[in-house]
Structures are given as structure tokens and as C-alpha cells.
Copies of this chain bind each other. A is one copy, B any other.
């Protein structure tokens, strides 16, 4: 069997604990993977699917896991930039899998649209590569990161062998309280809404400014197989995500509207 090539990235930056523990676990597993680690030079959270068009991207080699055989590279861009640049310009061989994480903090429900972690995996998908996004649901300590890292290194060989399409992103959220984990569930994306999303303050010069803040209201649909509910109930949540965004159901009503306008 050919050696699988995994591109690892994240949105907490290449020096974050999550990406280091993940790579350590992948190296220690029996997979014998070739790892390429290309990640932002600093934290780039809530960056969504941003790409950098107006400034040049630079790549620096970085010591990674004190392993001279493992070349780490940092990029002065977003998580999506890292994956695009890795696949299109840096790597000699297209990866078989992209893993983005392990993020410190959950990426659940509608919030995945803001997530740098998920966007990096999405960039892999757009380039035709199966992709995984992994998050811990809170500020993990080293044992929760290790738990999630070992979980991923168990899932990876199965995913590589499976019939899961390269059009599906697998979004995994691991409850940070690992002692209470009850198992894993395949879930749908739930809804996340926030109350009082901004806090208005006044600076020392009397000028107003706003902080994004807000109290989370988890607003699950009635069926209980949502990612938000799964992690709340102590389960690892595994959600398949696609990017077929055309709303085919709305096409007839729009056709009617356009026709009436005689455009």
C-alpha cells in the first residue's frame, strides 16, 4: 500500500498545542504517514473562508516536534491560504487527506461558517482532497488534546479506506471533558444564536466602540441528532458537511418572478 500523504493545518497557528499533539499522534500511529505541516504563523480565528489577495504570502521553515525529518512551514496568511498554497505551490505531491486542527474551541452548527478550522478543510475539499476538521469543545489541557489526537489517528486509516466521498468534509468536535465522553454520534449541524451580540463601550476620549460578545443561545431543531446537542450530552460529534449551496427548491418561485418581470 502506498504511503498516505497528509497535509496538516489549523487556525490557532503552527505553534499551538493542538496541531503539535495531532502530528505527534499521527507519527506514533501505525499508519506510517508522510506528514506536511503548513499552518498560519499566528492565530487566525473567525477568519471564515478568507483568502489573501492584496499582499504577498511568505513561507518560513519552522522546527516542528524537534523532528528534523518533519518540515514545518508557517505562512503569513489565513488557514485557507495555507491549504491553497501548500497544494498549488509548495508540495511536490497532492495530499491524500487534509486535517485541520485540533482547534481550541468548538466549531458547531451555523458557527462553522465563521470557522478558520473548517474553512481550511473546505479549501482541501474544493481542491478535490478528502478533508477533516477537528475541534475540542473548550480550552483543552494536554490530556484532552492527546485524546482527540489519538481519536483522529484511529479514524484516519478507516476514512482513507472508506467510500466517503471527497465532496464531504468530516467535522469532528470532541467534548473537552474527556472523562465524561459517552461515545460518538453522527450528527447534523444545529443552530447557534447569540443574544446581545455586541457590547457598547466608551473610550477615554468619549468615543464609542463595540466588542463582539453575546450570550450563546443554542437553538436546536426538534430532532435531537444535532452536533450542538451531541457534545452537550457528552458525545463526540461527527458531521458530514457539503458545499452544494444552490437552493434548488427556491428555483421555481424565482423563475416565476423573473418571468413576470419580463427581463
**Residue positions of A touching B, CB distance < 8 A:** 45-54, 56-59, 80-81, 84-85, 88-89, 110, 112-114, 119, 122, 126, 151, 154-155, 158-159, 162-165, 167-170, 183-186, 188-189, 196-198, 200-201, 207-212, 214, 236, 238-243, 245-251, 253-255, 257-258, 260-261, 263
The 26 sampled A-B contact pairs (Cβ below 8 Å) are A45-B54, A46-B50, A48-B50, A48-B80, A49-B49, A49-B113, A49-B114, A50-B50, A53-B212, A56-B209, A57-B209, A57-B210, A57-B212, A58-B210, A59-B208, A84-B198, A88-B197, A89-B200, A113-B126, A113-B243, A164-B257, A170-B254, A184-B261, A188-B251, A240-B246, A243-B245
> A246 near B189 (CB under 8 angstroms)?
yes
Query: Chain A contact residues: over half helix, strand or loop, or mixed?
Result: mixed
> B56 near A165 (CB under 8 angstroms)?
no
> A238 near B254 (CB under 8 angstroms)?
yes
Shortest C-beta distance, A245 to chain B (Å), equals 5
> A85 near B260 (CB under 8 angstroms)?
no
Please name the residue on chain B nearest to A184 by beta carbon. B263
Which one of B48, B169, B170, B240 contacts A48 once the chains associate, using CB atoms below 8 Å?
A: B48
> A58 near B209 (CB under 8 angstroms)?
yes
> B263 near A236 (CB under 8 angstroms)?
yes
Q: Which residues of chain B are near A184, meaning CB under 8 Å?
A: 258, 261, 263
Q: Which residues of chain B are near A243, meaning CB under 8 Å?
A: 110, 113, 245
Shortest C-beta distance, A225 to chain B (Å), equals 9
User: A183 to B261, alpha carbons, bound, how many Å?
Assistant: 10
State the 4 A-B residue pairs at the shortest beta-carbon distance, nearest first: A48-B49, A240-B250, A242-B247, A184-B263
